[in-house]
Chains A and B, each alone.
Chain A
Amino acid sequence: MQLARSLVRGISLSTPSTLPTGFATLDAALPGGGWPQGAVTELLSAGAGIGELSLLLPALAQLTRSSRQIAMLGPPCLPYAPALQQHGVVLRHLLLIRIADDAALLWAAEQLLRCSAVGAVLLWPRQLDDRRVRRLQLAAEAGGSCALLYREAAAHRQSSPAALRMRLQPAADGLQITIIKARGGSTGAVVVHTAAAA
């Protein structure tokens, strides 16, 4: 146990890098000022269509503008190309995988996360356990990319090895974000105005 703990500490010493979210209030609330790279972020969303994707678009657009690939795996609807382009996403750097098999989807996510050409992987799994999240975490660490995991709101009761976990709820003209776990940071609540971007 002692060994395991010192090993974990040894690894987490390497400087964590982040990707600015594009929302100043959110950056200020996150450790390192952005989405953690080389780690899993869990987005526990109260539903589809509340701004859960707009929240990521500034960061994703930035990645594609610097020729990094982003991948969307198993999204609940069709990501609408004209809207993505309006948000600055360079479409030829976006990969879309829409298959029904959860196991294959997670396998593909791991492969993508390990690839140095990939900057972020968005994943909508139907079912997920701790062990799967841990595997994604390892893959993200190996590739240095952002693993962005959408889960149902009820998942906040389960523990998770993710570096960052936040709950997303609709607010008047944006998104109410509750940070429920932030490795190296503190929990808290922020409202971002994703509606303005839409």
Chain B
Amino acid sequence: MLWSCTRLPRLERAALQRLAWWAQQWSSQVSYCSATGSDEALLWIEIGASQRLLGEAHSLLAQIAAGLAQLQYRGELAAAPTPQAARLLTRLSDHRIVTTLPALQQQLTALPLRLLALPADTLLLLHRTGLRRIGELLALPPAAVAQRFGPQTTRYLQQLTGAVAEPLPSVPLPAHFHSECEFDTAVEDATALLFPLQRMLHELQGYLRARDCAVQEFRLAFRHHRQAGSELRLRISRPCRDAAQLLAVTRERLAAFALDAPASALRLTATRFVAPAVLQSDFFARETQQAQELQQLIDRLQARLGAESIQRLQLRADYRPERAWRSLAVQDADGQAQASMDAVTAPRPCWLLPAPQPIDPPAGPLANAERIESGWWDGHDAARDYYLARSADGARQWVFQNLRSGQWFLHGLWS
């Protein structure tokens, strides 16, 4: 068993409890303790049922440290085979990761006794006895230690070295998530709430990862001074558990939201969670999800803009440029299987004018000559010589001369 311990200065109990939920993204076995009479709080995370490699423990600790920084907390991290050893190592300035019991034993030997989490009077007594190093205390027979320094000292040493297991109560994940923040001075501008919200949403992200689920809606409740509270409900179009995305959505809503009155406290609550199926990193699941999402989007666009305004382009087999393509309402295009068509090989411009526009004969040099003759059978016959021309302002134009009338037209732009 390998334990990671984080020692956090001055952290209130509610915040520590939320941190214990958040930490369950790494392990279901998380405990905390706010030591009485001390201003430090402890958070233990069981990070390996079996011995982990040193490198793994390093990267895990780095992840936890980065997560803490996102939450704007500061802490001292260490990892060791027993919870008490992990706690002790947080007090060192380096060599804070030990992965095996023999290595732990060896490291403890030379460390000073004052690092032990024993009552001050016990430490004083040990000092007076002439003991200075943890190794010296561990070398004494347990029965003698119990007799002179109390049985609790022996038990502590046994838990420290792993001779006796220390059962830690693991914090259960609540069915609902909530996080609260009180302000010293009431907040008037809703956008100023983004700073505490950033922390809250990262806590929520940890909780969602721990439960392996996502949210589609959550609630912000504002407390006001001498006035009933108010609320803002946020719904997002798809299940999400990414703090940055949730923050972006929240930021947008807050920008358009005016608080009824200055807020003295803010509470974030999420009570409905969505199965993580749609979040599978599996490529096909993602494709299916995207297809569904696209369909919903097109529905929304069509509902507001009209069914015909969302179009797809298709090729048509026709030599005449204005008939070599068509546009279709998206559902008609997506509903039919399109025969693959050979692309036109002669170069074509990106922009086509809605209709050829009469122009004066071009003055500059012409390039890319192409003759297009067709359509005599359906009355829309065309006999044209197309060229690339350059306009005075630098635009590259697709122009043609009608071979029957000699008239010049602008038909497209090479963009």
Residues of chain A touching chain B, judged by Cβ–Cβ distance below 8 Å, are: 3-4, 6-7, 10-11, 14, 46-54, 57, 67, 69, 75-87, 91-92, 94-99, 104, 107-108, 111-112, 114-118, 135, 138, 141-142, 169-170, 195, 198
Contacts and interface: CB of A to CB of B under 8 A. Distances in A.
B334 A198 contact: no
A173 to B, nearest CB: 10
Q: Which of B194, B393, B396, B397 has the most CB of A within 10 A?
A: B396
Given A99-B305, A116-B290, A117-B293, A77 B351 contact: yes
Nearest to A176: B394
A72 B312 CA distance: 10
Contacts of B314: 81, 91
Contacts of B343: 82, 85-86
B304 A107 contact: yes
A7 B396 contact: no
Interface stretch (B85-93, B143-151, B323-331): B323-331
Interface in B399-415: 412-415
A99 B412 CA distance: 21
Given A54-B415, A81-B314, A108-B305, A47 B293 contact: no
Contacts of B252: 135, 138
Given A51-B415, A91-B314, A98-B309, A116 B351 contact: no
A49 B396 contact: yes
25 contacts: A4-B192, A7-B195, A14-B244, A48-B415, A49-B414, A54-B415, A76-B351, A77-B413, A79-B313, A79-B352, A81-B324, A84-B313, A91-B312, A91-B315, A95-B330, A97-B309, A98-B311, A104-B305, A107-B304, A116-B289, A117-B293, A117-B294, A117-B297, A170-B394, A198-B414
A86 B344 contact: yes
B348 A82 contact: yes
Contacts, number: 174
B315 A96 contact: no
Nearest to A14: B244
Interface of B: 70, 191-192, 194-195, 198, 237-238, 244-245, 247-249, 251-252, 287, 289-291, 293-294, 297-298, 300-301, 304-305, 309-315, 321, 324-327, 330, 333-334, 338, 343-344, 347-354, 391, 393-397, 412-415
A67 B353 contact: no
Given A47-B394, A48-B395, A78-B353, A138 B313 contact: no
A135 B248 CA distance: 11
Q: Which of B298, B311, B352, B414 has the most CB of A within 10 A?
A: B414
Contact of A86 (B238, B348, B352): B348
A57 B350 contact: yes
Contacts of A96: 310-313, 327
A112 B247 contact: no
B257 to A, nearest CB: 14
A82 B324 contact: yes
A7 B394 CA distance: 45
Contact of A49 (B294, B338, B354, B397): B397
B297 A111 contact: yes
Contacts of B347: 83, 86, 198
A111 B338 CA distance: 27
B237 A53 contact: no
B237 A50 contact: no
A104 B396 contact: no
A184 to B, nearest CB: 17
Contact of A52 (B309, B327, B415): B415
B310 A50 contact: no
A166 B155 CA distance: 70
Given A54-B415, A83-B350, A46 B312 contact: no
Given A48-B413, A78-B352, A114-B237, A94 B393 contact: no
Contacts of A57: 350
A155 B238 CA distance: 35
A78 B247 CA distance: 38
B351 to A, nearest CB: 4
Contacts of A50: 394-396, 415
A141 B247 CA distance: 10
A21 to B, nearest CB: 16
Contacts of B349: 49, 80, 83, 198
B395 A81 contact: no
Q: Which of A10, A54, A138 has the most CB of B within 10 A?
A: A10
Contacts of B325: 80-82
Contacts of A14: 244
A138 B312 contact: no
Given A11-B247, A104-B304, A84 B350 contact: yes
Contacts of B237: 114
Contacts of A111: 297, 300-301
Nearest to B251: A138
Nearest to A99: B309
Nearest to A172: B394
The 5 closest A-B pairs by CB, nearest first: A170-B394, A49-B413, A49-B395, A81-B325, A77-B351
Contacts of B414: 49, 51, 54, 195, 198
Given A51-B414, A96-B311, A6 B195 contact: yes
B198 A10 contact: yes
A115 B297 contact: yes
Contacts of A54: 350, 414-415
A179 B250 CA distance: 32
B294 A142 contact: no
A83 B414 CA distance: 9
